[in-house]
Amino acid sequence: MDRRESKILSKKINAILFDLDGTLINTNELIISSFLHTLEQYYPTQYKREDVLPFMGPSLKETFESLDAEKAEEMIKVYREYNLANHDNIVTIFDGVYETVKELKNRGFKLAIVTTKLSDVVAMGLKLTRLDEFFEVIVAMDHVKAAKPDPEPVLLALKKLQAKPEEAMMIGDNHHDILAGKNAGTMTAGVAWSLKGKQHLAEYKPDYIFDTMEELLSIKEVKAE
């Protein structure tokens, strides 16, 4: 576990916000195959696996508009149809996530999901992995106007949790998550199983980088007295 220099005074926190894809649940292969399926229809043979990795993190709208603003909505529809049809056959939960989130809930932490996915797909992933019982607040793309790294989704989650930024932590696998947390004034943490790589996350100076999800339980800000 890496500890990064923080500008936030160390204190106990009572709220933990998680990104979903690539952080709690392993949707990496589903996302990659969804992008490849979609792009093959519009740009045959032009995209390979490594080419779509940078698309993981930003919203679909942002990604597809960067390719073709006029056809972005059409491509989003193709992507989502494939993604939904293949969701339950591909998505899994990362090691240690269920047990860690359950323990956080038992310790009385306020928990939220902050994601760029739409809420219906979020519900599918949480139900499939049995995480749905633990999260009292979900902020999805259809709940906000601006996506991460804008602080809006994080601030909305905090408002719903009735939590203060300085008493919260945002955890994710992408630099968008870290920046969103910093922009909202929370502590931040990255996860080393990010496809972007541990070093990439370190460049954005999160307060922590966890090699395993269980490490979250042992840091002083969440450790039981």
Using alpha carbons, select from 134, 140, 121, 149 the residue that is nearest to residue 34: 121
Question: Residue with structure tokens 């992507």?
Answer: 79
Q: Which residues contact 153 (CB under 8 A, 6 or more apart)?
A: 114, 115, 139, 143, 144, 146, 147, 180
Catalytic positions are 19
| Residue type for position 216 | L
Task: Compute the distance between CA of residue 216 and CA of residue 179 in angstroms, rounded to an integer.
Answer: 19
Distances (CA, A) of 219 to 77, 94, 108, 138, 225: 42, 20, 16, 24, 12
Do 60 and 115 meet the contact criterion of CB atoms below 8 Å apart? no
